[in-house]
Amino acid sequence: MTLTKPSLPMHHTLLSLSVASGLAASLALPLAAQDMPLSQILVEDAGWELVVEGYEFTDGLTTDAEGNLYFSDVKGGNAVFKVDLEGKVSEFIPNAAGISGLKWGADGRLYACVSKEQRVVVFDKDKAVTELAKEVRPNDLVVTHDGNLYFTMTPTSEIRRIDPAGKMTIVSAGVVGKPNGIALSRDQGTLAVSDHGGKFVWAFRIEADGSLAHPGNYMTLVTPAETPEVGKGDGMTTDVHGRYYVTSAEGLQIFDPTGRLCGVLPAPDPTLPVVSTCFAGPGHAWLHVGNGGKIWRRKTQTSGALAFAGPQASEVVPK
């Protein structure tokens, strides 16, 4: 048999009208979360612009409340560098070599993974350094508004937490093969961790006591054809609409809050990897990537989620 288009006899239509008030509600099937194409993020004719060059390997890109950019030169440099809103580059913290992750805390201090020295430290306002953990293998970190620091230990498949009292615990072991990039959802209820040795970005629930629960391989990276199981997930950031930005072998990959791929921005210099990303600049609307010895930025229609400013609900993208 074949089915045909339904006939619409009059009595039927009237019958349906009598329940029309309930119709809209009854059709409220959860058919689709908000679709988030790249066209909602990118600005027409506004491509990548060079911010700095001449470094060996830029990493640890992060921003503060004003939108200044901070970064390290993890392989060659000996400082935390700052790019202010006028584009002026300066040494912000001298004698700070081998940093692979940087984040400002709500306490106004700058937290750092000093991978070269195998320790996690914090710089206070007068740039004095305090050690938070030693004999660790830190790669990248986030700091929640309530002062919990989570950092990835790529070689040991661990995620560790340093609580506000300074106590360190292993909060995930063996779940993510090569945990690398790390980001907070805007409401700070979900911790996302990229796998440098696999193809997933994992989501964990942050429990009320700061532990992690319910890991899920929530986002799947586009991977190179020659290494379909290895996406080289690296540094991450999030925006005010709840999207996740993940650097990878294939460039910067963007996912919506339900884990669906929005799109991929290839590396500005395709001969070098992108390994670190953040929003900075005026209004935190400029997407930055560390791409080998260079940092690039581009204007967007969105802006970065700032963990130190406190947890907030994701904003719906205006039509």
Partner 1 sequence: MKFALLLTAAFGLLTTPLFAADEDYVPGPDAMVKEGVPQGKVTQHQWKSTIFPGTERDYWVYVPAQYDGSKPACVLVCFDGGGFVKADGAFRVPTVLDNLIHAGDIPVTVGIFINPGVIPAAKEGQEARKNRSFEYDTLSDQNARFLIEEILPEVGKSVKLSANPDCRVTCGNSSGGIAAFTVAWERPDAFRKVISHIGSFTNIRGGHVYPALIRKTEPKPLRVFLQEGENDLDNLHGNWPLANLQMEAALKFAKYDHQLIMGTGKHSGRHGGAIFPETLRWIWRDWKTLQP
Distance CA 91, CA 124 (A): 16
Residues 6+ apart with CB under 8 A from 98: 72, 74, 114, 115, 116, 117
Q: Annotate 50-104 with DSSP letters as a single string.
A: EEE---S-EEEEEE-TT--EEEEETTT-SEEEEE-TT--EEEEEES--SEEEEEE
Per-residue contact track with partner 1, 159 to 188, x per CB under 8 A?
A: --------------------------x-xx
State yes or no: residue 36 binds partner 1 (CB under 8 A).
Answer: yes
Of 188 and 247, which CB lies nearer to partner 1 in the complex structure? 188
Q: Does 194 bind partner 1 (CB under 8 A)?
A: no
Least gap, CB of 279 to partner 1 (angstroms): 21
Task: Give me the least distance between CB of 313 and partner 1, in Å please.
Answer: 7
What is the footprint of partner 1 within residues 288-317 (CB under 8 A)?
A: 311, 313-314
Please work out, in degrees rounded to the nearest 5, the angle formed at the alpha carbon of residue 203 by the alpha carbons of 201 and 196: 25
Total number of residues binding partner 1 (CB under 8 A)?
A: 52
Return the range that interacts with partner 1 (CB under 8 A); candidates 61-69, 107-115, 133-141, 252-260.
Answer: 252-260
- The one-letter amino acid code at 60 reads G
Which residue in this structure is represented by tokens 């040795």?
197
Alpha-helical regions (H) of 248-295: none
User: Which amino acid is residue 183, in one-letter code?
Assistant: A
Tokens of 212: 């992690």
Under the binding rule (CB under 8 A), the answer on residue 128 touching partner 1 is: no
Nearer to partner 1 by C-beta: 57 or 202?
Answer: 202
> Is 148 or 154 the residue whose CB approaches partner 1 more closely?
148
Binding mask 254-293 for partner 1 (x = CB under 8 A): ---xxxxxxx------------------------------
Q: Sort 297 into a burial class: Cβ within 10 Å, 0-12 / 13-18 / 19+.
A: buried
Residues of this chain that bind partner 1 (CB under 8 A): 1-3, 5-6, 8, 12-13, 15-16, 19, 22-23, 25-33, 35-38, 185, 187-190, 203, 205-208, 213-216, 218, 220, 257-263, 311, 313-314
